């Protein structure tokens, strides 16, 4: 007997509510920590106000876009799709805002906790990240399942829900691009004038751009990353459910299975989070523990303990074990999901493929970006001969780092299609399996995103410690957490990019089905132009976002130089820098420059689909997916490696801070900043947004203007 689809969706809704309850509980726990002394709180308040002001203005701009697009969808498609689009946009924005709200309050608490010991600092920062992670998966599941149940029985049910993914992707792109431009403009400006020209430490309170830099960490790397992975998670489930509908005549459980896997993923993620933030329960004095207490103590033995003298390798192992622990749990629970759904056992193997793929990409990314490994140390070695060789070596490392992710994803696609085809004998089943592998990869997102979103909190904590003149051991601990955060952030980007390819391929298959394309001929007159246009799009998009960072950074550099020149006693520490002006410059630049790249992602697929035709649009999506995947991996990993090469030197290698090698490394890090935090991570959203726009408007495309 097949498990009803509606039952799977209801279970997913209930687990989404459980995840939401955890978010509330963890929020109270994190905010209950000591916020530090008055100086620390004053600095944190400035960061909070700057972050809230930027996000509020950014969301007002995005709201105009949402209203316009919703009106177009309602006019030319269905009001139900428009409703789902708006709900997806609101849910994505809400998850990003909540993550940022917590991060700008957890940063000062992490600094205070690091004053006690390293483990306490990690618990607070990671607890903040777990709120972001669980908010993303919970808001996504609740939104999609409520809409699914609302339209239950309607033949266009899944068509409507693609609007949810469109809304989430739109918010994600603007949040990533806008936040990325903000954070990197401030970061580049602060580094070039502060560290290179003036020779003052990072996060020095004399630097006028230091508050803007700390604000940027939150609006870009927390709110932006949250919206990014919200749309990845939602898109993977939508793609799998849409393709499952093609197999629905054989078993309606194919539609419900992705929801069920996502639901049990929340349980697994909670376990992974507990491994880092939990405490081992003590046995009662009389030995008469309840069953629940014994279960809690059994789980508590897996809590990871961090020694005060833990190395970066030790910290990486701790977070890696939490993700692996969640992966083991999801394997067991997803086996139950497959069995009760009544589908082939092969689909459990597909979920396993997705999990292995995600962990393998994370491992490769970690290898290329961690300063304990050879690629990043080779960049640090190259700094001895100047900035030029530093940049050359970093670009080479980034390019080399694309090899294994491509091979891993290619193997995952082939294996998934083979398993699906063996299970049900059709190519449709194979493509469904690819989509399900994407769901499997993202099933532990609650804990995976926590390992990423905690990084900016640790980075901010280090800045607060520096500006508050806390003891050197506190900054040493926050630097250790920050270095870990740089690696986990790079890992998270690689994970997001890899999942984007699987999701985009599944969405492309759904588009081909919805557009009623019977055959894609590579030698067709419009196919190659479509592929070339698609391959060009990631480069155009990256150029626009890189130039946007450059323009904004130029304005910041000019302003910071002016303040050092005109404000009496600023360098001596007796003058007061004007932080607000730098915050204002970053805000205005980011909001102005994010519009064109974001609009292109929506407009170009519609133009190609109507002018060149639906087959050419399919070719364009293939081109975008291929070049975007490689460019995104290269940029993200090169940027992460440059950053950690600088941090490797700052541990005392090659002369340490202030040496010529360090100055060269800062230049490399500056080049890498927009690579890893603006253009690179935005490309995976570009890939999926262009694909889902094509899917939403699939029925409106014809043969184009050129009939051969």
> How far from chain centre, in Å, is Cα 325?
21
Q: Determine the longest span between alpha carbons in the chain, in angstroms.
A: 86
What is the per-residue pLDDT for 349?
Answer: 94
User: Domain spans of the chain?
Assistant: 8-700
Q: What is the dihedral of CA 227, 230, 235, 240, to 10 degrees?
A: 170
Q: Give CA–CA dist 394/378, Å, rounded.
A: 9
What is the per-residue pLDDT for 299?
Answer: 58
pTM reported for the whole predicted model: 0.84
Select from 178, 154, 90, 87 the least CA-distant residue to 681: 178
**Cβ–Cβ contacts within 10 Å for residue 339, how many?**
12
What is the per-residue pLDDT for 288?
Answer: 54
What are the 10-residue block averages of pLDDT along the chain, 708 residues in total? 74 92 90 85 82 81 88 88 91 86 87 81 85 90 91 79 86 79 77 71 72 74 78 86 74 84 90 75 54 54 65 73 84 88 88 88 85 89 92 94 92 92 84 89 85 79 80 78 73 76 83 81 84 93 87 83 82 77 80 81 89 90 92 91 88 84 88 84 84 85 74
Q: Classify 316 as helix, strand or coil.
A: helix
Q: Which two tokens stand for residue 182?
A: 């903000």
CA atoms within 13 A on the CB side of 667: 18
First to last CA, the chain: 51
Q: Give CA–CA dist 242/253, Å, rounded.
A: 12
What is the per-residue pLDDT for 236?
Answer: 85
Q: Give CA–CA dist 449/431, Å, rounded.
A: 26
**Contacts for 317 with CB less than 8 Å, ≥ 6 apart:** none
Q: Is 303 in contact with 275 (CB distance < 8 Å)?
A: yes
Q: Is 553 in contact with 189 (CB distance < 8 Å)?
A: yes
Q: Which two tokens stand for residue 323?
A: 């993700």
For residue 553, give Cα distances in angstroms to 190, 569, 570, 588: 9, 24, 21, 12
Q: Is 103 in contact with 118 (CB distance < 8 Å)?
A: no
What is the per-residue pLDDT for 126?
Answer: 85
What is the per-residue pLDDT for 388?
Answer: 92
**Cβ–Cβ contacts within 10 Å for residue 377, how many?**
17
For residue 662, give Cα distances in angstroms to 195, 369, 390, 655, 656: 10, 18, 11, 8, 6
**Contacts for 253 with CB less than 8 Å, ≥ 6 apart:** 2, 3, 4, 5, 8, 341, 342, 343
What is the per-residue pLDDT for 114?
Answer: 80
Write out the DSSP string of 535-564.
Answer: HHHHHHHHHHHHHHHHHHHHHHHHHHHHHH
**Contacts for 72 with CB less than 8 Å, ≥ 6 apart:** none
Place of tokens 């006019």: 75
For residue 520, give Cα distances in angstroms to 525, 534, 596, 705: 11, 16, 31, 18
Phi–psi pair at 72, nearest 5 degrees: -65, -45
Query: Rg for the chain (alpha carbons), in Å?
Result: 24
Place of tokens 């880092």: 276
With vertex at residue 94, the alpha carbon angle to CA 93 and CA 98, rounded to the nearest 5 degrees, is: 120
Q: Is 515 in contact with 702 (CB distance < 8 Å)?
A: no
Q: Is 22 in contact with 134 (CB distance < 8 Å)?
A: yes
Sort 372 into a burial class: Cβ within 10 Å, 0-12 / 13-18 / 19+.
middle
Q: Is 136 in contact with 95 (CB distance < 8 Å)?
A: yes
């Amino acid at each position: 007997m097949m498990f009803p689809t509606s039952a799977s969706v209801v279970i997913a809704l209930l687990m989404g509510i459980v995840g939401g309850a955890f978010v509330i509980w963890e929020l109270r726990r994190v905010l209950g920590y000591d916020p530090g002394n008055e100086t620390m709180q004053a600095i944190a308040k400035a960061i909070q106000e700057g972050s809230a002001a930027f996000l509020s203005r950014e969301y007002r701009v995005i709201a105009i876009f949402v209203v316009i697009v919703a009106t177009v969808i309602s006019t030319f498609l269905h009001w139900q799709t428009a409703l789902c689009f708006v709900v997806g946009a609101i849910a994505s924005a809400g998850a990003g805002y909540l993550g940022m709200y917590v991060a700008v309050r957890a940063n000062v608490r992490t600094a205070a906790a690091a004053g006690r010991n390293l483990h306490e600092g990690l618990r607070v920062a990671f607890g903040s990240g777990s709120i972001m992670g669980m908010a993303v998966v919970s808001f996504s599941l609740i939104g999609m399942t409520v809409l699914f149940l609302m339209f239950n029985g309607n033949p266009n049910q899944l068509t409507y829900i693609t609007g949810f993914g469109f809304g989430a992707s739109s918010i994600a792109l603007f949040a990533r691009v806008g936040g990325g431009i903000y954070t990197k403009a401030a970061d580049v400006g602060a580094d070039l004038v502060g560290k290179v020209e003036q020779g003052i430490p990072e996060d020095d309170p004399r630097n006028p751009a230091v508050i803007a830099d700390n604000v940027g960490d939150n609006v870009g790397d927390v709110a932006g990353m949250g919206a990014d992975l919200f749309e990845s998670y939602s898109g993977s489930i939508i793609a799998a459910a849409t393709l499952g509908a093609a197999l629905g005549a054989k078993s309606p459980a194919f539609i419900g299975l992705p929801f069920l896997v996502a639901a049990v993923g929340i349980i697994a993620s909670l376990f992974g989070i507990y491994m880092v933030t939990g405490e081992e329960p003590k046995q009662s004095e009389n030995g008469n523990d309840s069953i629940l207490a014994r279960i809690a103590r059994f789980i508590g033995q897996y809590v990871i303990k961090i020694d005060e003298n833990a190395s970066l390798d030790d910290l990486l192992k701790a977070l890696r074990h939490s993700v692996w622990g969640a992966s083991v749990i999801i394997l067991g629970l997803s086996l139950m999901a497959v069995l009760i759904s009544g589908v082939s056992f092969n689909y459990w193997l597909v979920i396993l493929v997705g999990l292995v793929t995600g962990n393998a990409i994370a491992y490769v990314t970690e290898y290329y970006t961690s300063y304990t490994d050879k690629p990043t140390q080779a960049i640090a070695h190259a700094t001895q001969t100047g900035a030029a060789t530093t940049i050359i070596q970093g670009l080479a490392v980034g390019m080399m780092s694309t090899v294994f992710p491509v091979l891993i994803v290619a193997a995952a696609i082939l294996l998934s299609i083979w398993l699906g085809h063996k299970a049900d004998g059709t190519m449709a089943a194979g493509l469904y399996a690819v989509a399900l592998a994407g769901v499997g990869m993202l099933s532990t997102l609650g804990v995976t995103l926590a390992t990423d979103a905690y990084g900016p909190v640790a980075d901010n904590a280090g800045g607060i410690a520096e500006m508050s003149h806390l003891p050197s051991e506190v900054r040493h601990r926050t630097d250790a957490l920050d270095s870990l955060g740089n690696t986990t952030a790079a890992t998270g980007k690689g994970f997001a990019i890899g999942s984007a390819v699987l999701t985009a391929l599944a969405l492309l298959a759904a588009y081909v089905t919805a557009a009623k394309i019977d055959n894609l001929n590579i030698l067709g007159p419009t196919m190659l132009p479509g592929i070339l246009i698609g391959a060009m799009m990631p480069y155009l998009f990256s150029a626009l976002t890189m130039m946007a960072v450059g323009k904004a950074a130029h304005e910041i550099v000019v302003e910071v130089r002016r303040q050092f020149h005109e404000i009496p006693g600023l360098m001596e520490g007796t003058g007061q820098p004007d932080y607000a002006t730098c915050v204002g410059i970053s805000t205005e630049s980011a909001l102005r420059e994010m519009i064109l790249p974001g609009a292109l992602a929506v407009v170009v697929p519609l133009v190609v689909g109507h002018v060149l035709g639906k087959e050419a649009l399919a070719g364009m999506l293939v081109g975008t997916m291929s070049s975007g995947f490689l460019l995104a991996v290269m940029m993200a990993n090169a940027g992460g490696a440059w950053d950690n090469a600088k941090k490797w030197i700052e541990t005392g290698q090659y002369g340490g801070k202030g040496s010529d090698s360090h100055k060269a490394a800062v230049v490399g890090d500056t080049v890498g900043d927009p690579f890893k935090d603006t253009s690179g991570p935005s490309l995976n959203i570009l890939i999926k947004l262009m694909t889902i726009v094509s899917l939403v408007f699939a029925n409106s495309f014809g043969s184009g203007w050129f009939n051969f």
